[in-house]
A and B are shown apart, each in its own frame.
Chain A
């Protein structure tokens, strides 16, 4: 039963959710450098300004976009009890998330490659 869009949507949603909550903890810690003053904050931000981090941020964006739009799809299913077009709704959510990842990820990729625009 692993080839259904339903299973893929559930697995991806759960996976991105866990990734995002772990990222949130990391984010709180990173920004927490501000409690030690401006200099400490700037130093910590330098650590995370490498090209590799920018590439990872594209994956983060993908996770946020997918989780958000799959979540919106679920909100619609719950509020309007629509089950007929279930596959189309998932494809639409995935497509929108993918599109936003590409649009939002492009500046990040360019930044990582050192290309200014």
Chain B
């Protein structure tokens, strides 16, 4: 240990798998110098640049907004670009990086996300505006925005999908990411087809497959709450016709001024019960 408390050397175990040569995945250790402020992504770049150019992984923005760099580090799904190296080293300075679980491996740390995207498209992830558009803008109140629970902040990183035990059992399950987005569209007052959306998700591969395991909330780097979204969709599915009627009435009032009450505090999203030491959560 150095005087400023940082280990000098770190051992990064990376799961390798080349489908052309390997029969099964295996872990390979790499030794690097842990510099101040290094993230796991920096460590991976260090290894790829100076030690082993064949190490393969996805990354892009390096500041937790593109959703490309999701990996399984020491058993937890994280974005490696926002994960400080020192926070993930054990007492002996080791960290293990594996690809996201339960998804087919293309190579090393890169997984096949085709099913993830297919399920996302299934829920019609776009706004379906009403036929008569208001003369000017859609007027939506701060309370109505708050009810969306920041679901639009989802960066489609796949950490929740890959952490879900139901996804592990059943690739037909739509997944927490799609259900969160379905929630976002269903609750949006500007959307004119909530009933149709509820029909898509209130189905045996949709909301009824969720077993409230909560791994999705624990994994989300944006502290979003797919379980809350799924429970809301379940409750709405039970009163679908009434909800559709409420939406029609609401949409008839788009031209009217919105009553602005006292300022609505946009609270942080799902409360994190035992925050993992991954540095600042970006919300």
Which A residues lie at the B interface, using CB under 8 A?
Answer: 1-7, 9-10, 74, 77-78, 81, 83-88
For chain B, which range describes its interface: under 10, 10 to 19, 20 to 34, or 35 or more residues? 20 to 34
A86 to B272, CA, bound (A): 10
A9 to B213, CA, bound (A): 7
A78 CB to closest chain B CB (Å) equals 6
B270–A83 CB distance below 8 A: yes
Which B residues lie at the A interface, using CB under 8 A?
Answer: 72, 75-77, 101, 163, 165, 168, 211-215, 217-218, 225, 227-228, 231-232, 234-235, 270-271, 273-274
B131 CB to closest chain A CB (Å) equals 32
A10–B211 CB distance below 8 A: yes
Nearest residue, chain A, Cβ from B101:
A1
Partner of A86, one of B75, B76, B214: B214
B217–A86 CB distance below 8 A: yes
A27 CB to closest chain B CB (Å) equals 26
B125 CB to closest chain A CB (Å) equals 23
A87–B165 CB distance below 8 A: no
B215–A6 CB distance below 8 A: yes
A6 to B165, CA, bound (A): 9
Nearest residue, chain A, Cβ from B226:
A83
B66 CB to closest chain A CB (Å) equals 23
Nearest residue, chain A, Cβ from B168:
A1
A40 CB to closest chain B CB (Å) equals 42
Report A-chain residues with C-beta under 8 Å of the C-beta of B218: 4, 6
Report B-chain residues with C-beta under 8 Å of the C-beta of A86: 214, 217, 227, 273
The 6 A-B residue pairs with the shortest CB-CB distance, nearest first, are A84-B271, A6-B214, A6-B213, A87-B273, A81-B231, A10-B213
A12 CB to closest chain B CB (Å) equals 12
A84 to B77, CA, bound (A): 19
Pick the most buried of A2, A6, A10, A77: most chain B CB atoms within 10 A of its CB: A6
B215–A4 CB distance below 8 A: yes
Known: A1-B165, A1-B215, A7-B213. A83 touches B225 (CB 8 A): yes
A83–B214 CB distance below 8 A: yes
B150 CB to closest chain A CB (Å) equals 14
A1 to B228, CA, bound (A): 20
Nearest residue, chain A, Cβ from B272:
A84
Report A-chain residues with C-beta under 8 Å of the C-beta of B232: 81
A87–B234 CB distance below 8 A: no
Nearest residue, chain B, Cβ from A74:
B212
A66 CB to closest chain B CB (Å) equals 16
Nearest residue, chain B, Cβ from A14:
B211
